[in-house]
Amino acid sequence: MSKQSENIGKIEELNQRLAALKEQRNKLFAEAKELAEKRDKLNSEFKRLKAEAQEFKKARDEINAKIIELKQQRSQIKAEIAKKAEELKNIRGEIKVLMAKKPSKNSGVLQKEIEAIEWKIQTTPLTLQEEKQLVEKVKQLEAQLNVHRRIEQLSQKRLELTTELKALEARAKSIHERIISEAEKSQQKHKEMINKLEEAKKLKAEADNLHRLFLQAKEKIEPIKAEIRKTLEEIGRLRKEIMAETVEEKKKDEEKLLESIAKNAMEKLKRGEKLTWEEFKILTEKGLA
């Protein structure tokens, strides 16, 4: 087998190997591309879930801020309730003390007696001693009447405080119910946020694993690409050798042809025959003409 035939055989083998390497490379390229697409899709989904979790967190924080505000309102109302309850307690105590001193006569009777005595003082001739006694009697009756008046004032204030306390307690209860309702909403938002974060965490782990496989696929491609380059270089070298050998053989064939033409031309000269221009040129180039 000639060197040229041997090189052609080697090139065929290398082309087969090159085709197998390219197929393997393309398969790894496709695998890497698929892994990258899946990874990017998961990362996109991960970002979406993180954004949704952030929205739930924002909603939860807004609700918690509202709860803090409601608790402050409730605390203020409770402080006001405590203040008014203490005031009511003092009023009840004062009423209790006054009730112990309460005259047997009602305020209407006492008022009439005072008016009758004052009228008597104004319309009846009295001695100084009698007038003093009546004035003193008026003072005593007015003191008793003042007890009635004070009890009435305190009773009215007690009624007002009781009404205010009931209104405040109703407000405190309403706010407490709102706090409970908002707290349930906050817990729900927190739960939804945690669920989104856990789901995002799983997707991120899957995306990271796909990225690792993607890098491994790329690493496998590099030596194959190097082998392809090496194979191409070897094919190129062999083709150059074949080309050089072909050129050399062609040169030899041309030389043989020229030798044959020169030989025939010399024989024609010996026979005295006329040469063609080509024959004459060849003999001249060889120094035989």
pTM above 0.75, yes or no: no
Is residue 286 in some structural domain? Answer: no
Is residue 265 in some structural domain? Answer: no
The reported pLDDT for the residue numbered 276 is 79
Q: CB neighbours (10 Å) of residue 18?
A: 17
The reported pLDDT for the residue numbered 234 is 87
Exposed (0-12), middle (13-18) or buried (19+): which is 105, by Cβ within 10 Å? middle
Is residue 201 in some structural domain? Answer: yes
Range of the domain at 23: 3-101+155-250
The reported pLDDT for the residue numbered 289 is 58
**CATH number of the domain to which 227 belongs:** 1.10.287.2610
The reported pLDDT for the residue numbered 87 is 93
Is residue 28 in some structural domain? Answer: yes
Q: DSSP assignment of 74-116, as one string?
A: HHHHHHHHHHHHHHHHHHHHHHHHHHHH--SS-HHHHHHHHHH
User: What is the number of structural domains in the chain?
Assistant: 1
1: helix, coil or strand?
coil
Structure-token match 């319309």, residue found: 123
Which residues of the chain are under the pLDDT cut of 50?
1
Question: CA 214 to CA 53: how far, in whole Å?
Answer: 28
Digit-coded pLDDT (tens) for 227-262:
999 989 988 888 888 787 777 778 877 778 777 877
